[in-house]
Every structure is written in structure tokens, then in C-alpha cells.
Amino acid sequence: MTAATSIQKLLELGQSIWLDYVRRDLVEGGELKRMIEHDGLRGITSNPSIFEKAIAESTLYDDAIKTALAQNPSQSDEELFFRLAIEDVRAACDQFAPVYQNSDHSDGLVSLEVSPDLANDTDATIREAKALWRQVDRPNLMIKVPATLEGLPAINELLFAGINVNVTLLFSVERYESVLAAWFEALEMRVDAGLSLTDINSVASFFVSRVDTKVDAALEANGSPEALAVKGHAAVANAKVAYAHFRKQMESKRWERLASAGAKPQRLLWASTSTKNPAYPPLLYVETLIGPHTVNTLPPATYKKLLEVPPDSLDISIDRDLDEARALLSRLPEFGISLNTITQTLEREGVDAFSQAIHALLTRLKERRAALLGGA
């Protein structure tokens, strides 16, 4: 039977589509339920920028803010934000509960991030992640933790504790290899301790379009015809090499032991998949990265574009032209480009951008809080 939507077709091919957008009206207005039941949406990730815009441009959260402040007038702006975010995430978890149950607990997941201010503090990340896990109190929650060097031991400990982890801000294959190693170690420790693996979920969020933005700028600076011919190809090549490493590990004796104990693979999740260059096709980072055991998380505009695609036009593409992808990445030094330097820069900038988004949100929340208290 032909899939009714392109999202359902991708699921048949082994890829789950998640939405990078959580807002109260989406959850409470019935649209999220429709997207789950009609489109085939399989999960959702929270985004502080969306929350900030909702606070700034609507009265959507006013009643919730008033209620929260009436119950605890002295709570900090950050405490207030997490209270509101937890309410949204908990409600989204409940709407995805049927997907979670029907997918053998593999999908129907909702992500909430720890404060990016903690990205370089292992112990604080662990404490906040465990606190959020307890407060949301839903088995289909995922805690987003940045893949910094300090984040690696936090990821390991949280997974060992049985907490689902969405590892975010991954840009390099090398760092991804370290993340997958931390995941392996955590699950092996659970097996050795006689603990269950069946309900532990993790994804490794590998960012795509930002790599092309940086590499393309360097290729343009080089200016040679050979360099310009590579534009728009480095990010997909980078992702394909990461997926090849995943496939290799999934064929190992190490994975066989975990799989026999009930483990689910740590899927690669393609993040930052909207094209930043208007000259590129809007689904460049969707149609080229289709493969089993993957997730693609889309902002609303890209999500809508995907739904316009005929389902039968989609097919597995992640394993195509792997040799060419490796060759392309190996050529970058010829053009004076260090992919390692670029990905390190992207990680720093990513942490800073997430932190700035949270602080902008808290500033907006402080203003709204003051306005509502003044009105009262």
C-alpha cells in the first residue's frame, strides 16, 4: 500500500521525522494531534527561540505566568521559564504517548534542553538534567545535552542512570565517534550491573547546514573554479561519513551484545536541516540523508515543504556516493580549509548561540512578568 504522506514514506524507509517547534497553541489547539495522526509526525524538540517569540508577540503564556507567580512570586526568571517549558513538554509527551507505545518505545519522544550555560560544566549538567527528568516525569522525554568535551561524561552518566539523552551540537565525525563511544560504555555498564536497556533512547544530533555555511564561505574566499565546484556538498558528505561510522559500529560484536540485551541503537539525528543559502533546494538536507535508523528534525517551513513531495519520489540516499563523500572532504585542505577547525568553531558558536537565545528569552520573560505584575 502506498504511503499517504511523504513522512509516512520516510518511516517505511527507516527514518523518523520530528518537528523542531514546541509552542502551547500547537499542543493545546489540536494541530499537534493532527500532525501525529494524519502526517505521521514521530517526535518533537523544544526551541527557546520559539518560546521567546511567543512571549514577545502574543499573550499565549500570560495566564500561565500569572498562575505561576501567584503560587510563587519569588521564583527566578529561569525557574519560571522551566516551569512553563515543562508544562508544554509534559503535554506534548502525553500527546505522543500512543506513538511511544506503538513504536516499542522507539519514537514519540519530546526533547527539552539543559541550560547551555552549563555546556562546559559536567556536574552541573548532570544535576540539571536529572532535575528536569524528575520534574517532567514522562518516559518519552529526552534531555538535550551539548556534545562538548565536558558533556561527554555527563552523557555517559545520564544514560547509565536510565535517562533518555538527545546529544546536541555535533558537527564533526571525530566528536560523534566519542559520543557513540560514551553511549556504548553507558549501556555496557548497565548490562554489567544487571540493569535493563529496553526503554533507554538516545539520538546523536548531527548539525548539517551550518557546516556548508562555513565551508562555502571559505571556498568562495579561495575563489578557484575547483573550490567553487565543491560548494553545497561538504555538509552532506560530512553527514554521510558519520553515518558510515554508525553502520560499522552496528555490525560489531559490541553492538550484538547490547542488542541481545534489548538495546535500541543510538540513532543519528540530522539537525539544522533548513537550507541557509536560497540558491540551494529547500530539501537539500532531507532528500540526501534518508536512511535506516535515522531521524530528521525539521523547522515548520521545511516540514511543510516535505509534505508537498510525492511519497514515491523518496528513497534511501544516505549510503550513496560514500567514496565520493570521503574524497571531497579529503580535498578541502587543498583549498586552505581545515574542517576540524571549522567544526570546533561551530561548536563554540553553537553553544554561544544557544546561550544567547536562552538569555534573550529570560529577558523577554522578565519584561512580560513586570508588565503583568504592573497590570495586576
pLDDT one-digit tens code per residue, 13-69: 999 999 999 999 999 999 999 999 999 999 999 888 888 888 888 899 999 999 999
- The domains found in the chain, sorted by start residue, are 6-375 (3.20.20.70)
**Dihedral, CA of residue 253, residue 259, residue 261 and residue 263, to nearest 10:** 130
Among the options 33, 53, 66, 144, which is catalytic?
A: 144
Looking up cell 548497565 gives: 190
Paired with 144 in beta bridges are 113, 166
End-to-end CA distance of the chain: 58
Minimal CA–CA distance to 275: which of 286, 265, 264?
A: 286
CA distance 41 to 225: 42
Q: Quickly count: other Cβ atoms within 10 Å of residue 61's Cβ.
A: 23
* C-alpha cell read off for 22: 514546541
- Quick check: helix, strand or coil at residue 168? strand
Taking CA atoms, 307 is separated from 13, 40, 108, 269, 281, in Å, by 16, 10, 19, 19, 15
pLDDT of residue 1: 52
Give the list of residues 6+ apart from residue 194 with CB closer than 8 angstroms, or none. Answer: none
Question: Quick check: 121 and 146 in contact, CB under 8 A?
Answer: no
Q: Can 214 be counted among the known catalytic residues?
A: no
Q: What is 313-350 written as a DSSP string?
A: G----TTTTHHHHHHHHHHGGGGT--HHHHHHHHHHHH
CA distance 108 to 136: 15
pLDDT in tens, 174-210: 999 999 999 999 999 999 999 999 999 999 999 999 9
Minimal CA–CA distance to 233: which of 327, 147, 299, 158?
A: 327
**Dihedral, CA of residue 306, residue 307, residue 311 and residue 315, to nearest 10:** 20
pLDDT of residue 324: 97
Pairs from 304-307 (Cβ < 8 Å, separation ≥ 24): 306/6, 306/7, 306/17, 307/5, 307/6, 307/7, 307/39
CA distance 215 to 235: 8
CA distance 193 to 190: 5
Looking up cell 513504536 gives: 103
pLDDT of residue 375: 53
Positive or negative CA dihedral for 369, 54, 135, 269? negative
Give the list of residues 6+ apart from residue 375 with CB closer than 8 angstroms, or none. Answer: none
Residues in the chain, pLDDT under 70: 1-2, 375-376
Compute φ and ψ for 297, nearest 5 degrees. -105, 125
pLDDT of residue 53: 85
Report the percent of the chain where pLDDT is more than 90: 93
Q: Quickly count: other Cβ atoms within 10 Å of residue 161's Cβ.
A: 16
Minimal CA–CA distance to 132: which of 145, 123, 143?
A: 143
CA distance 297 to 269: 7
pLDDT of residue 38: 97
